[in-house]
Structure 1
Amino acid sequence: MPSPEEIDDLLNSTEDDSLNDKYRPHYHFTPPSRWMNDPNGMVFFQGEYHLFYQHHPYGSEWGPMHWGHAVSRDLVVWEHLPVALEPDGNGMIFSGSAVADSRDTSGLFGGDPGLVAIFTHADTYPASGTDAEPEAEERPRQRQSVGFSADRGRTWTMYEGNPVLAEPELTDFRDPKVIWYEPGGHWVMVIAAGDHVRFYTSPNLLAWTFASEFGRTEGSHEGVWECPDLVWLPVVDEDGEDIEDAEDVENADDGERAEEGEGAEREGSWVLIVSIGDGLPEGSKTQYFLGSFDGTAFVSSSAEQLWLDEGRDNYAGVTWSDIPQEDGRTILIGWMSNWRYANVTPTGAWRGAMTIPRVLTLRSTADGLRLCQRPVEELKALRGTGERRQEIAVPGESRHELGFGGCAYEIEAVFEPSGAAEFGFALRRSADDAQETLVGYATAEAELFIDRTRAGESGFSEAFAARHGVRLRPEPDGTIRLRALVDRCSVEVFAGGGVAALTDLIYPDPGSVGLALYAKGGEARVRELSFWPLETRQTD
């Protein structure tokens, strides 16, 4: 294994893979080089957003895991820092979370505030073979450990009592997410345990007591459960404003208004987010549950399967801890890939990107209470000089070229279906019409979809070129409102005020920069359209 100095050199080296290579995003977070997957340890502390991530600093495929590290003051421009946590005698550094121990409950900071990371140490049980079967397969071992920093996350120390939590009967036991539960005055850990999650409590982040479990009979079990998160979210209206004291909100009688702290006098619900490994037909995907939480146990009120994102490339998403109460947002970021093909995407010496940061809320819909995602407002700082169009007729079986486009932009449009069977955007188009990605709406099926079957390079995986979508009801006035954020290798689509979300990687040629409206089976109309190029603000 390389020395810490060699790892840092590799982390900061890009070799021939410069920041201007053809797939490196303009405004999405990527590692300087080598492999990246799950976001880890996101915490806001003393004016900085910390983003840690699963990192293999000397290979572009998954390997011995470290925690890479970056910080930002605006969620847009990131400063890369040296590797924060690296493998030691207890194993590799798998996913986990970080919190600001403002009260020094851990006793690690001499009464001052500091940062505490709670993560999974991963190795194998010793002497797992026998004399009769010396070649027996080693059994993985996953235990929870603590690291801490007293200097704003710049250097980290492993707790001498690691590991702090082990369950030997569980092979899959990882990805702890820790929150402070104000009504009980204690810490809560939710952790993936194979086909369910478990909850533990602690007064000090170091000694943990089992409290409950959830999920053995709920949700999807087509893959191992991973990267859980537990958050309380407010219900908002179509303008994103809080709904207070609403009597008709689902679960309003279950104590879903948060008590004594965050969320006081705001209608809302607890939300449990759980990712599922590569076992679904789509590969990796993230589910969520609505319900109640009393500080020790979660009870679901979800009557059906709910998914965070119906695209193929938003996985392992978790939220930032300790965002100031005056800000009030819950912000999530996900790994923009899929275990079905993550190790073979055509990105050279770097591999892996994050989604844009998204604000999570809840919205009451005709189908019940649903998770709502919206890009953070800070991204608007990237907007260049925009274009605005109104009252555009889009004839059927045609492409209406807009005369602007590019490889990094944001576009919003309000469509009137009129008589069209299908309509939407055709983006990242090539001049010869050989490449394009469709962001469309199928009227009869009431389906919002991304079609990347002609999006560009896809030969690296049979699972990549596909069309997939999500059910989307029209707005009360019959319109469909679409918002898409496009980057060099991705498209993220939001509709229904953020209730519908699709995130996909794409790999078009650099010259495929055309942008058009399209319709099939009749004419569609666009009431209004707004377009902004998103200017590059590279990470430091």
Structure 2
Amino acid sequence: MQTKNNYRPVVHFTPPANWMNDPNGMVYANGRYHLFYQYYPAAPYWGPMHWGHAVTRDLLHWEHLPTALYPDELGCIFSGSCVLDKENLSGFGSLENPPMIAVYTSHNTTTHLEQQSIAYSLDYEHFEKYYGNPIIANEGQPDFRDPKVFWNPIKQCYSLVLAAGKNVEFYSSRNLKDWEKTGEFQAGIHGLGGICECPDCFPLQTEDGEKWVLIISMILPPEETGKENNAFDRMSHITQYYIGSFDGNTFIDTEKSDIPLLPDFGTDNYAAVTFQNLDEKVMIGWADNWDYAAQAPTADSGFRGKMTLAREMKLVKTEQGYRLSFSFKGTEALEAVSFPLAQGDNRLHSDTFGLKAAVKGTGKIVFRNSSGEFVEITVTEEEITVDRRHAGQSSFQQDYEKESYGLNRAPRQLRDSSEIEIIFDKCILEVLADNGLTPFTVSVFPLQPYEKIGVTGDIQAKLFYLC
């Protein structure tokens, strides 16, 4: 007899109840990582957006805090970012008690007018909206949203990047209240074109000096979605990145890649952005997919919407040029108590676990249960695949059932020996293959927990449990 599975993850963030999508306002302050998020507390589907709020010290175990921002006369609260105003440039606090500033999109639910607003907090939990909102007005341009604030080292001020149709626009400010447009960047000249969302812009050090990364989540035109049936255009929403420089006014794409650069080759990582006020660059994404998130069979478990684990980023030089490499942030202590797996089948004692493996050639890792459900991760000389076509429930939505969504694939970045990291947590699988150069995030919904893990081929794996 098949048992009903509880899909709420243990170490991946989920809302206390009902609907959640994009991560917002991620900032580190006083030893705590703050995560705000798009939240509809009234039902397990998208509705008038609020900002939910949670904090953690280890990026694995989260404490829910009261809802931070509610809809107002300007509209509901769409995506944005937070900055810890250490120098009190805004004047909302003091040097001894610097304010936390939330910069977000006010979305009018009647006219759909989108404008940028701010709110501030001195205790980092309760926010007061600025009486001068909106701080970046809009005379009617559609798709004008998702401001991401960052420090501008060239002008010694704050800048932000926001989505504006098929472009992203850059603004600068010396007080976080008065903003001036400084430039724009058009997605699609290299990479994927479409409606931009949730941009982020930040520097990373490389062996050739500092480079900047621009990340843009994209809504692809319906006529282009699935046109080529490849890793880049198979879904309506996908995230890409560019590598280049920032001149103080705008981003310049200096790498000019011939193919879109993806931070994730799976189906379920969208709107990913980084924490502000951290020396290292750490990212979290919404671990769902707009094509089927509203039908995902997690409502019976009390939620819809989950976040990826935190991932630290580096820029690594490869034969194809510089690429982002990812590693899980916060799992180090758990990995320290890992134990080796034998070739063939091994019994699983939890439905939330991690795996770290050395790949010397080709091989396969499979999770399975007694109902005949399984997930298969295959490493060949040419590509890596994550196959969830037989992982569990799939008939709840037609896109989820598609072959192109079920078989996730990416070309190998490293042909010789490499490491692969895997985290599985109830209903979400994260795979960082080829030393983190080839990530996958996919949702799976087994009717009962996976009971065995099989390892075959030139793979030496160690297992650890997450709780």
1:431 aligns with 2:370: yes
Q: 1:163 to 1:437 in 2, by over 3 A?
A: same
Q: Which 5+ residue runs of structure 1 have no aligned equivalent?
A: 1-19, 125-137, 236-242, 244-251, 253-266, 393-399, 519-523, 536-540
Structure 2 CA distance for partners of 1:120 and 1:430, relative to 1, 3 Å: same
CA 1:389–1:455 in structure 2 vs 1: closer, same or farther (change >3 Å)? closer
Tell me what 1:144 maps to: 116
Partner of 2:271: 316
- Aligned partner of 2:257 in structure 1 is 303
Q: Which residue type is aligned with residue 347 of structure 1?
A: T
TM-aligned CA deviation for residue 107 of structure 1:
1.1
Going from structure 1 to structure 2, the CA distance change for 1:372 and 1:385 (only over 3 Å counts) comes to closer
Q: Which residue of 2 aligns with 1:24?
A: 8
Q: Which of 160, 182, 195 is residue 166 of structure 2 equivalent to?
A: 195
Q: Radius of gyration: which is bigger?
A: 1
How far is the alpha carbon of 1:514 from its aligned partner? 1.5
Amino acid at match of 1:337: D
Whichever residue aligns with residue 133 of structure 2, its letter is N
Q: What is the TM-score of this pair, normalised by structure 1? A: 0.79
What corresponds to 1:16 in structure 2? none
Tell me the equivalent position of 1:127.
none
Superposition map of 1:294-373 within 5 A = 294-301=247-254, 302-304=256-258, 305-323=260-278, 328-348=279-299, 349-373=302-326
Distance 2:67 2:443 in 1: 26
Code of the aligned partner of 2:369: S
Distance 2:369 2:348 in 1: 13
Change in 2 beyond 3 A, CA 1:426/1:41:
same
Q: Equivalent residue of 1:470, what SS?
A: strand
**3-state secondary structure, aligned to 2:108:** strand
**Alpha-carbon separation, structure 1, partners of 2:119 and 2:190:** 32
Query: Would you say 1:511 and 2:449 are equivalent positions?
Result: yes
Distance 1:403 1:229, change over 3 A: same
Look up the match of 2:228: none
| One-letter amino acid of the structure 1 residue matched with residue 357 of structure 2 | A
RMSD over aligned Cα atoms = 1.9
Indicate the residue corresponding to 2:412 in structure 1: 472
Distance in 1 between the 2:183 and 2:56 partners? 36
* Residue-pair matches, total: 444
Residue 411 in structure 1 maps to residue 411 in structure 2: no
**Are the counterparts in 1 of residues 377 and 386 from structure 2 also a CA contact under 8 Å?**
yes
Distance 2:413 2:241 in 1: 20
1:451 to 387, 391, 402: 387
Q: Confirm or deny that 1:486 pairs with 2:424.
A: yes
CA deviation after TM superposition for structure 1 residue 462, in Å: 1.9
The one-character-per-residue Cα deviations of 1:293-337 (angstroms, maximum 9, x if unpaired) are 0111111022222111010000000000012xxxx3110000000
Query: 2:340·2:461 contact (CA, 8 Å) conserved in 1?
Result: yes
Question: 8 Å contact 1:277–1:339 — kept in the other structure?
Answer: no
State the 1:505 CA deviation. Answer: 0.5
Q: CA deviation at 1:511?
A: 3.5
Q: Contact 2:427/2:443 (CA < 8 Å) preserved in 1?
A: yes
The one-letter code of the counterpart of 2:150 is: I
Residue 278 of structure 1 and its aligned partner are, at CA, apart by: 5.8
8 Å CA contact 2:25–2:37 kept in 1: the answer is yes
Q: Is it true that 1:122 corresponds to 2:107 in the alignment?
A: yes
The 3 A distance-change label for structure 1 pair 217 and 463 is closer
User: Which residue among 117, 128, 135 is the counterpart of 1:164?
Assistant: 135
Question: Hey, what's the Cα distance between the residues in 2 that align with 1:183 and 1:415?
Answer: 43
Q: Which runs of 5+ in 2 are unaligned?
A: 226-233
Instruction: Give 1:532 deviation, angstroms.
Output: 0.7
Secondary structure of 2:105's aligned partner = strand
1:99 maps to: 83
Match among 7, 15, 40 for residue 56 of structure 1: 40
Which secondary structure does the structure 2 equivalent of 1:497 belong to? coil
Q: Counterparts of 2:354 and 2:94 in 1: how far apart (Å)?
A: 48
Please list, as runs of the form range in 1=range in 2, the aligned pairs for 1:266-277 lying within 5 A after superposition: 267-277=209-219
Closer/same/farther in 2, CA of residues 292 and 213 from structure 1, 3 Å limit: same
